[in-house]
Structure 1
Amino acid sequence: MVMAKAPGKLYLAGEYAVTLPGQPSIIMAVDRFVTVNLDPRTDALISVTSNLLGHRELSSSELLTVGLDDDWRLVLRTLQLIQTYAIENGQPFTGLTVSIDSQLTMAGQKLGLGSSAAVVMALIKAYVALSELPMSSIQQYKLGALATLTTPDFKAGSMGDLAAATFGGIIRYQKFASPVIFDWLDQHRYVSEMLAATWPDLVIEPLALPADWSLLVGWTGSPADTQALLESGDLTDRDAAKQLLAQNTAPLVGMIETGLRQADFDKVRAAMQLSQEQLFAYASRVGLAYVTPALLSLLSIATEAGAGAKISGAGGGDNGIALTNDATVATAIRDAWQRAGITPLPLAIAFNFSNCI
């Protein structure tokens, strides 16, 4: 048996604009995980159990032709590409017993930590460890991106959550040029060929949070549909507004990156506030249901206490984050959030986690 896990994620900066190729963002992996256990079988049965989805069985011979039209579609698409890659590398793909356990929920609700991406990457990591297939970490990320790009309802995202789930820590991330990848897919290129190729515009670089800074995460208790939010609003207005958002926020992402490298809290706090203002403006331009009363309360409490704060991710519910370099302020914010009905989540950056056992 092989066990692999992949962490959830939170955006520090760059949301929405990061869905455009080459636009910078900063993403943090957090220490709640999806864990996958894989057992090889002697027969052709693929038996998958998930604490969120239930149970699914199919034969490895029917995997490549199974429909991707239900809640299992991303799991099945990931297994399809794993099978294709294994066959391309001369390795038989036989039966598997797969167990998927997600810690990225609370009281049966998703926490907005990128659970789908963590499932994809934990599956890939586990199979690579089990099979000893030749695949670097960046190639594992690319395989996860191919799975997500080719799964109905998932191709609109930035794929940054996959990068966080692959590498952990804090990363500066820029999305690849997706039109190029779609061209390769249309050309029916081998999966192995696409994984070995250079993906234009893709950037994944490590960053760090200063040791005396505190990351605070508040959960509103209201889950959001990220894919729906990414595709909402008038199409023409959305595209123009996103280009303007990208133009205005790229320097702010750079400012946060510099602040992290220099441990300059005031710089990071100012850039977080300016980034949040740009996201409010974008949401207004496209008619996006981005901010909720709970998120607004979360932001007000944190900023009034002197922290840097912003909504993390697509908004519409889920989470807000705060950064502070004062432990007393951190405690005061958590207490005030609780009084306001916001749940502080005990999360930390997942810098070092065991990928496979």
Structure 2
Amino acid sequence: MISLKVPGKLYIIGEYSVLKPGNEAVLVAVDKFINVTVDASKTYEFSSELGHFKWMLSDKLPVFVYDTLTHAKAAVYVAHLYLNYKQVEPKVYSINLSSELTTEENQKYGLGSSGAVVVSVIKGILDYHNVKIKKLDLFKLAVLAQIEINDISSGGELAASIFGGWVHYTRYDLIWVMNHKGKLDEVMTLTWPFLKITRLPKPPFELAICYSGISQSTSQMVGKMQTINQSPWYATFLNKTKLIVTQFKEALVRNDYFTTKYMLEMYRDQLLDLQSKSGIIIESSPFKKMMQIASDYGLPAKTSGAGFGDCGFAIAQNKNQRILVQDAWFKAGLTPLELNVWEYNEQK
């Protein structure tokens, strides 16, 4: 039997901007997980809190109807594609998955649950077949699974779940990948244009994280963005935010809290500009309250990911500041989360 856990993620800076190939983001992996076990079985089977499905192989590949649990199905399919590529005979197994990335009512926190499901299922199947895979190759397979079901993200959440800790991510060229679809050998062996994933040293700052109480669909927001990415002001937004993210990352690496704070506030201003021009609501009322309280304590704060719902955060200089702002959020009727940045024990 194989057991593994894959962490959720939180966007720190660069969301919306990182939808463009070559643009960058900084994310963290957090200590809430998708837990997977893979064990010997008489039939191919998947189970989770959200449902259950079985499948059979045709020409050594799973056959699916992508109606429910689409991310898990796509992950199974791509894992078998890779087993074939590596000329590994598939064994019969069952997968059991449980998630810590949702509330007790199955509402998503926005911690990248669908991405972590894809990563954990692919990794679990490959581990079960004793197939070692590099982190970057696992990332490529996870992207192929997203393409399989046409739920393509920037890929930042995949990078954070796979690499752990603080991650600097540069978006790959999707058109190049689509043009190589079906040629697994090329997809796996060639360098993807623009793609870069780097682990950053852990800064001595503390993240205070707050849940809005509203769940948001990233794919819907990405869909809305497709309609505005031809606008001239959007090109200006992309250019400005790319510079801000780069300077934020450099300040983070040198543990420069005040430049980090300034760049985070500048990025928030850009998101507010994007909100006013696009009509996409990024700062809903819980976030406005959350950020005002953080500001009262002198801390920079912003939404994480698509905004409107899910999580926001503040960056504190130390644990005391973090506890103070979380207590203030709680007293104001908000939902602080006890989340920490999480790193894998061994980095590959």
| Bin for the TM-score computed over the shorter chain | over 0.9
**1:302-334 deviation line (CA, Å, top 9, x unaligned):** 122111211111001111111111433222211
Aligned counterpart, 2:107:
109
The one-letter code sitting in structure 2 at the alignment partner of 1:54 is G
For 1:202 and 1:288, the matched residues in 2 are separated by 28
* Identity percentage of aligned residues: 28
Aligned counterpart, 2:158:
162
1:60 to partner: Cα distance:
2.9
- For 1:276, what is the secondary structure of its paired residue? helix
Structure 2 counterparts to residues 114-263 of structure 1, below 5 A: 114-152=112-150, 154-155=151-152, 157-185=153-181, 188-189=182-183, 191-211=184-204, 213-232=205-224, 235-236=227-228, 240-263=232-255
Aligned equivalent of 1:48, options 29, 46, 49: 46
Aligned equivalent of 1:268, options 226, 238, 260: 260
Aligned counterpart, 2:3:
3
Aligned counterpart, 1:349:
341
CA contact (8 A) 1:273 1:308 kept: yes
The one-letter code sitting in structure 2 at the alignment partner of 1:99 is N
For 1:118 and 1:352, the matched residues in 2 are separated by 14
For 2:93 and 2:233, the matched residues in 1 are separated by 46
| 2:338 is equivalent to residue 340 of structure 1 | no
- Cα distance change on mapping 1:49 and 1:335 into 2, 3 Å: same
Aligned counterpart, 1:87:
84
Aligned counterpart, 1:31:
31
Question: What is the TM-score of this pair, normalised by structure 2?
Answer: 0.94
Aligned counterpart, 2:12:
12
CA contact (8 A) 1:47 1:55 kept: yes
1:56 to partner: Cα distance:
1.3
For 1:223 and 1:354, the matched residues in 2 are separated by 33
* Runs of 5+ unmatched residues, structure 2: none
Aligned equivalent of 1:297, options 268, 278, 289: 289
**1:82-128 deviation line (CA, Å, top 9, x unaligned):** 11111122212232210011100112211100001111111122122
CA contact (8 A) 1:6 1:33 kept: yes
4+ residue runs of structure 1 moved beyond 4 angstroms? 236-241
**1:199-247 deviation line (CA, Å, top 9, x unaligned):** 1100101113323x21110001111111101212681466544422211
For 1:319 and 1:210, the matched residues in 2 are separated by 21
Deviates more, 1:173-182 or 1:247-256: 247-256
For 1:263 and 1:12, the matched residues in 2 are separated by 15
Aligned residues: 345
For 2:261 and 2:231, the matched residues in 1 are separated by 28
- For 2:180, what is the secondary structure of its paired residue? helix
For 1:220 and 1:354, the matched residues in 2 are separated by 33
**1:158-192 deviation line (CA, Å, top 9, x unaligned):** 0110011111011110111110000011xx31x24
The one-letter code sitting in structure 1 at the alignment partner of 2:154 is S
The one-letter code sitting in structure 2 at the alignment partner of 1:256 is F
- For 1:106, what is the secondary structure of its paired residue? coil
For 1:60 and 1:129, the matched residues in 2 are separated by 19
* Runs of 5+ unmatched residues, structure 1: none
Question: What is the TM-score of this pair, normalised by structure 1?
Answer: 0.92
CA contact (8 A) 2:56 2:62 kept: no
